[in-house]
Amino acid sequence: MTGFQVAGRRLRTEAEYKAALRDQALIQKIRSTTDLEQPGEVITLCDDMQSGKYRFETVVGNDFDDEIFELAQNYKKQGYHKDSRISGKKRKQKPKTKQKIKQTSKEKKEQKVSLDDFDADMRKQIMAEMKKRDRRRKLLVFLCSIIAVGCFGYFGVYSFFVERNETDYEKLSQLKGNSALTGSLFHGVTIHYTQEEEVELEVLEEYQTLYNKNKRLIGWLKIDDTKIDYPVMQTINNEYYLDHNFNQEYDKNGSLFLDKDCDVVHRNTNLIIYGHHMKSGKMFGNLNSYSSKEYGEKHSLIQFDTIYEKGTYEVMYVFRSRIYNEDEVVFKYYQFFDAASATEFDSYMQEMAALSLYDTGVTASYGDELLTLSTCDSSETDGRFVVVARRVD
């Protein structure tokens, strides 16, 4: 562990440290030119950051991105927009003329009505109506109070999960590569495919401690200079890790997980990893940054280690798709695990190349190993944002 640290964030390499300093300088420049107490300026800044006007390289920049996003969301909830400004000056109101004030007072006196002006039956009906309105008012106040408490409770729970999620994954990152808690106690993994086929495998030393904590660990995914630096899980279904973290606790962030139909031992042609698109940027929250060719070129390499071997992949295709009905005859990337022949493989490549947002110049041949990252996309119903990479090491 190195001593590089910027804005409370510990950096592992000198390159990351220099990148964090660049992010810090850009953040200082933005703060000096933007009044964060002005809703309009904050919302405009947030839109600029979302559109890619400002690009950060490290978690220092991503933290600032999250800060501006949450601040802009709060202003929007209060009804502010891009043109909104807060002013300490009150608008001057035109004074009412004495004649108008006197006229209004006279009208009020003429309109003033007493219950004594009505008979007993009418007074009874009026009192009943007033009590009914009072009950409705009290009920409305009660319901509003319940809603307010619920909103504060939800915000508190959300903040708790975000904080816990970040803390937990920082601890897991520290455990990766730490074999002090494993030592000679660790045993190899035996996989029984059939009664006849039994495979004995050795877990890489740097993942042994994590594997001992949770046997559902299947690997680790990392993309340099991004928030994507997480363990990858796998279980017998594709639902559990939608809302559970590495420690098997409920967590709305979920976890990154490998499709249940993928096999890292009898290697599929294509391994598919899923993750939530969190607004906070957690999990695959920033994966759609690959829609920019410039971003894709700067982050072209993806590190995905299975617990048994390391692997480096180069981004090949970036595209948007969606979940289709079973009866729709169309290319469904989420069903592409294996290619039985070169012809079938080339057909899949042509489909993805046609969908790709830009040409990366990277191609693949039958026999190459692929990695697909998939997350939700709000551009359409059941939309998905997909990044496909080819193994190069």
What pLDDT does residue 129 have?
Answer: 82
In a domain, 52, yes or no: yes
Structural domain containing residue 268:
214-391
Range in 115-124, 158-167, 306-315, 326-335 with the lowest mean pLDDT:
158-167
In a domain, 153, yes or no: no
CA-based nearest residue to 268, from 333, 338, 219, 199:
338
Q: How far apart are CA 295 and CA 228, in angstroms?
A: 14
Beta bridge partners of 320: 385
What pLDDT does residue 60 have?
Answer: 84
What pLDDT does residue 158 have?
Answer: 56
In a domain, 137, yes or no: no
pLDDT in tens, 67-99: 988 888 888 888 888 777 765 444 444 444 445
CATH number at residue 282: 2.40.260.10
More reliable by pLDDT, 236 or 13: 236
Which of 83, 101, 119 delimits the end of a domain?
A: 83
Which of 83, 102, 131 delimits the end of a domain?
A: 83
What pLDDT does residue 92 have?
Answer: 42
What pLDDT does residue 280 have?
Answer: 86
CA-based nearest residue to 368, from 333, 339, 336:
339
What pLDDT does residue 259 have?
Answer: 98
Q: Are residues 219 and 364 in the same domain?
A: yes
How many domains, in total, are found in the chain?
2
Mean pLDDT on 351-378: 97
Residue 180: pLDDT band (50, 70, 90) is low
Task: Judge whether residue 279 has pLDDT over 60.
Answer: yes
pTM of the model: 0.60
In a domain, 208, yes or no: no
Q: Are residues 77 and 223 in the same domain?
A: no
In a domain, 189, yes or no: no
Task: Judge whether residue 49 has pLDDT over 90.
Answer: no
pLDDT in tens, 116-135: 666 677 777 777 888 888 88
**Winning range, highest mean pLDDT, from 19-28, 39-48, 241-250:** 241-250
Q: How far apart are CA 58 and CA 225, in angstroms?
A: 5
Which of 33, 67, 83 delimits the end of a domain?
A: 83
In a domain, 187, yes or no: no
